[in-house]
Amino acid sequence: MTAIELKDLDEVTTKEEICGALRTHLDGATELGLEAVRSLRKAFAGTQTAVVTLPDQLAAKAIKLGRIRVGWVNCRIREKNEVHRCYGCREPGHMAARCRGPDRKLCCRRCGLLSNIVDEARGKTPILVAGDFYAWSTGSRETKPRGEAFLDALAPLDVLLLNTGSKPTFVGQQGESIVDFTFAGVSLHDRVRSWHISVVYTGSDHQAIVFEVLLEENRIVSRPLAGNRKWSARTFDGDCFAEVVSAMNVRPGVPGDMVDELMSTIVRACDASMSRGGDCRQRKPVYWWNDSIEECRKSCLRLRRRAQRARGRADETICREEFADARRRLHRAIKASKRLCWRQLCDEADCDVWGKPYRVVMSRLRAPRTSPPSAPELVRRAVSTLFPMIVPRPIDAPPLLEEHLIPEVGVEELRWAYGRVRIGAAASPDGIPNTALKAAVEACFENFRRVFTVCLRKGASRHGGSGKGLS
């Protein structure tokens, strides 16, 4: 028996169609069954790849043809060379379960290359390290020994990981994983923007990684909007967060700069230890959409694809008639739903003149919406009751006290303050989860005390941040 590979199959091709095509193009394959198709898996650009086991004579005929028509696609055929290789000693011809050779699992030609890269990059700035390091590490389901060696090798460098999310960077026949990494130095990390894994076809098993690096003169120094930051607290990695925060040392200076340095370090730690929260907003369906129309639409699309693929076959007329019937059923279901919605809108207009029918009409006319008529005296009474007149009185700010009159923030005072932060409560306006905030205070206790003390003595505050939960 010989295994052959059929590539470039359509995304809706089934095993029955593959067997039918092989019976048509190969003499002597009339009794070919579905068990001959060993696997049918997805490939790039919406295609599929099938592995079929055939007798040697039939396989030789198929390979000689080079291409056969399956469905509406001419597919390539090639012999599948399956070479067994031991992952213990790296020698071909046997499997790891029966290996008696030396253990070479940790031996890799990339290890020497990685050490050369680290030696070359040590002490240089700015620095950017990116590539396929063939090491299952951060973001994968498990960390392999090669991944641990990779992390240990990069430990001497002052670099931060730019990878975000859990989307795989490698998608191959054996599965998918995260093996491509991008690291940036501390001086370059804040200038890297829009790191993401592109969906552009590259012709390789590795996905394209795209990011931008701002020039020094175009560096954005202003603080980003707090509402744009959001992390998923369920993916919080305490060890990774503590490792980033523990290296923080807030230098004495202007209170605003000290707060910015403290918060930027916490944000970097959140990026390193948690995945970003996505936008959960979804597109709203049209008013007449329902479950029945959805089922009719799925049936119509399925029959349309079948009718298109049946061109030139004996059942072309039958498939076209089935598709026409499905399309008519879909149109009738949409019209019936629209009529029902229209009747409901008319009935609602009789009950509530200023409700949904009024809003629909005014939006179609693009006219300004007027409020329903009311008694003027009633409106004046309601407004005067809800919003009473208050004479504004200017309040002078109290004079700032001398620095020696304001004591330092005590240890017990800070512990009591951050102990009030609840783990399950909603995050503050800057998006930092309370779990990360408490971990940051525990890891850098003295930095928080110093920043709070300087802010109190200088009369400065940071509105809208995580400090609100500690005040």
Write out pLDDT tens, residues 167-180: 888 887 767 788 78
Alpha helices in 310-410 (DSSP H): 316-351, 356-365, 376-386
Before 126, cis peptide (omega within 30)?
A: yes
Question: Do 273 and 244 touch, CB atoms closer than 8 A?
Answer: yes
The whole-angstrom separation of Cα 190 and Cα 181 is 17
- Residue 231: DSSP 8-state: B
So what's the pLDDT on residue 281? 54
- The model's pLDDT over 331-354, given as tens digits with 9 standing for 90+, comes to 999 999 999 998 888 888 888 777
So what's the pLDDT on residue 452? 82
What residues pair up with 70 in beta bridges, in sequence order? 73
So what's the pLDDT on residue 469? 40
Model confidence at 447, pLDDT cuts 50, 70, 90, reads confident
**Given strand 67-70, what is the order of strands in its sheet?**
37-42, 48-54, 2-9, 73-79, 67-70
The whole-angstrom separation of Cα 302 and Cα 394 is 72
> What is the residue-averaged pLDDT of the chain?
77
Q: CA neighbours within 13 Å on the CB side: how many for 338?
A: 7
What residues pair up with 75 in beta bridges, in sequence order? 68
- The greatest distance separating any two alpha carbons of the chain, rounded to the nearest whole angstrom, comes to 101
Q: CA neighbours within 13 Å on the CB side: how many for 286?
A: 8
So what's the pLDDT on residue 225? 45
Asked whether the predicted pLDDT for residue 329 surpasses 90, the reply is yes
Model confidence at 36, pLDDT cuts 50, 70, 90, reads confident
So what's the pLDDT on residue 367? 61
Mean pLDDT lowest for which of 104-113, 351-360, 372-381? Answer: 104-113
- The model's pLDDT over 198-229, given as tens digits with 9 standing for 90+, comes to 877 777 888 888 888 887 655 444 444 445 56
Question: Do 52 and 7 touch, CB atoms closer than 8 A?
Answer: no
What residues pair up with 85 in beta bridges, in sequence order? 92
Nearest to 18 by CA among 3, 44, 40, 2: 40
